[in-house]
Amino acid sequence: MGTAGHVDHGKTSIVKALTGIDCDTHKEEKKRGITINLGFASYKISETESLGIIDVPGHRDFVHTMVGGISGIDFVTLVIAADSGIMPQTREHLNIMKLLGVKSGLIALNKIDLVQDPDLLDLVIEEIREYIKGSFLESAPIVPLSVVTGEGMDRLQSAINQVYSAVTPRKTDGRFRLYIDRIFTVKGHGTVVTGSVINGSLVSGGSVYLLPGEKQLRVKQMERYGQPVETIVAGDRASINLAGLERNDFERGMLLADQKFETTSMIDAQISIFEESLPLPLWSQVIFHCGTYESQAHIHLIDKDKLEAGGSALVQIKLLKQAVFMYGDRFVIRNSSSDKTLGGGKVIDAYPFHHRRRTTKVILSMQQFASGKLSELITAQLSKTTRALWANEIAGYLGFSEKEIIHIAEEKEFEQVHIIDISSHEGSKEKTVTVESTKSSYALIQTSLYEKYKKRVINMVEGYHKKNPLSEKGMTIQQFATGLSIEESSATWFVLQSILNRLLQDKVLQKVMHTYAAFDHKVVLSSEMKHATHFIENRLKNSGMQTPLLTEIIPDAKRQAINEPVVYEVLRYLVSQEKVYFVDDSYIHSTTVDLCRQKLRTWLESHPEGITIAQFRDLVGGNRKICLLLINQYDSEGLTIRHGDVRRLKS
Ligand SMILES: Nc1nc2c(ncn2[C@@H]2O[C@H](COP(=O)(O)OP(=O)(O)OP(=O)(O)O)[C@@H](O)[C@H]2O)c(=O)[nH]1
Ligand SMILES: [Mg+2]
């Protein structure tokens, strides 16, 4: 529970009356008689449950402190002094709480001892009722009381109990984040930080990151309301004893998280400004507050040229100080001299592009982000890139759990996104292992992009066949990936694999060895090619062991009106057909290779002691180089095996 309200209306007094704890502990606070820092107390709701209370300052100079405190609360006790009624910071605090998304609370109408006239009291109550109409406090209990006389304190307690038990607990799954509001050293224990857990949960003994930054810290011990605990969850106020942290590593506004977040200095947001504010021009300079983070900021209106008081707009905000944000984080903006709260909003994209121009496309995408619908968010996130993303990558950007992302993506109606379960992929098993440990097993891509990739794959294969008409083979996955600039093992690579599998299934492609060829691809020779193939093949066949050099084949072919590029193409084709062997610069016809193989086998069957190269040469004729090449070929086929200087049959 947080307190809120104008200075001097009795917030700290009420907390003290409830808990016995005086939150104004600093010398300066005592001297001035006002609250300056956040105060913390715990109030026993029942035998087993304690309520953490955050007492905030009411003075207008410390509204930024109030924002930090209020960010971690579930409900508020708005304190209004009966003798003065609604005052400027009553309004400002209520406005801020609306912006930060506080959902419930009650009103403590304090100092009734100073209002003798019951009609006057009724008047104040009426004024308050009127004022809170339309806000989250509309039907909140208003409890008249006096801390001085103690009147109404019992009613206050039961009102707190009632509101407390109606609060819906925060979601505790998702990533752990805690805004640090205090840091101190405890003798013999080291550094301790305190703050409010805004998301997720943390278990003692784990490790956390201090953000922004790289520093990883070990959680030694945790306490909730002074009691050691093993787990802290969203909504808790906690103190954490950390190993590895030094006092000057810390700056106000930092937070602890269970994993690294990319830092950002530019966000897209949806903001609204108060009725009492001045309009915001296209560009403006403000102070930005989120949790305990505070920075100067430039706001650029995107869907409007001017933001009128009471209105809202989509904006891009440039922050002077690095920060980490998650989708949906609430913030407050104050004027640049920081004496007035202007309004605030929520982060809709923590890592946007720089919107130099305010195009319809930009606005549409921002509206998608602002809608808050997870399916829209996923689409918007995916449309920022021309590649596929891992489910957990998207989860990270948006601040949802991977499970939620996969769940939505799998929904039938969600047609804009194609989801690929890489573990179900034929042949991707080994990949899955390496990928799973660091990444996700689900890749997501916009359906339109998936279709685009599919078309390009088909075009690439067609182009390949056109260029290599005499090759039966198509392209390898690596060739597709290179052509499409897809990194191996990236999410998009798995999408490519999925596309290839789909095209095989749909009989658009066929597998030829380890390549993908068009399903109806057949090598058809033109009469010119037929002539060339016939000539070259015969030339090689007739040469037997006297394999011709390319420099001999080319002029021979030329005399037959076959030019050089055709010679190469035909040779490639003959090799792919296995009619010709290409070994170390020489082309040997397969009939020659077969014949020599036969001779060798027969000879070896009657000569178990083996054959030397010289003997083999005598057996088949031809030069030493060709003989060596042939023998190696037979070794590699598994016909023969080398024993010292001789080859024997490998049986
Ligand atoms: N007469 C009377 N005085 C009260 C009552 N409650 C608080 N006060 C006095 O009002 C003054 C301010 O009280 P605080 O509790 O410090 O007020 P606060 O709202 O915490 O003030 P800030 O934190 O500075 O905004 C103190 O002098 C209190 O003694 C009450 O019920 N009746
Ligand atoms: Mg106070």
The pLDDT value recorded for residue 424 is: 52
Between the two ends of the chain, the Cα-to-Cα distance in Å is: 85
Distance 24 CA to ligand 2 centre (A): 7
Nearest CA to ligand 1 atom 21: 8
Q: Is 175 in the pocket of ligand 1 (CB under 6 A)?
A: no
The pLDDT value recorded for residue 423 is: 58
Three state DSSP letters for 66-109: HHHHHCCCCEEEEEEECCCCCCHHHHHHHHHHHHHCCCEEEEEE
Q: Is 11 in the pocket of ligand 1 (CB under 6 A)?
A: yes
Query: Which of 604, 443, 462, 470 lies closest to 526 in space, CA to CA?
Result: 470
Q: Is 16 in the pocket of ligand 1 (CB under 6 A)?
A: no
The pLDDT value recorded for residue 442 is: 84
Q: Which ligand is nearest to the CA of 30?
A: 1
Q: What is the pLDDT of residues 139-158, one digit of tens each?
A: 999 999 999 999 999 999 99
Q: Is 65 in the pocket of ligand 1 (CB under 6 A)?
A: no
Give the chain's residues under pLDDT 70.
Answer: 412-415, 421-440, 584
Cα–Cα distance for residue pair 388/608, rounded to 1 Å: 61
The pLDDT value recorded for residue 318 is: 97
Q: What is the pLDDT of residues 62-86, one digit of tens each?
A: 999 999 889 889 999 999 999 999 9
Query: Which of 544, 537, 535, 536 lies closest to 626 in space, CA to CA?
Result: 544
The pLDDT value recorded for residue 12 is: 97
Q: Is 308 in the pocket of ligand 1 (CB under 6 A)?
A: no
The pLDDT value recorded for residue 474 is: 93
- The distance between the two most distant Cα atoms of the chain, rounded to a whole number of Å, is 130
Residue in 13, 60, 78 to alter for ligand 1 test, most ligand atoms within 8 A of Cβ: 13
- For residues 278 and 249, the answer to whether their CB atoms sit within 8 Å is no
The pLDDT value recorded for residue 432 is: 28
The pLDDT value recorded for residue 429 is: 33
The H or E element that residue 554 is part of is helix 550-559
The pLDDT value recorded for residue 507 is: 95
Cα–Cα distance for residue pair 17/150, rounded to 1 Å: 8
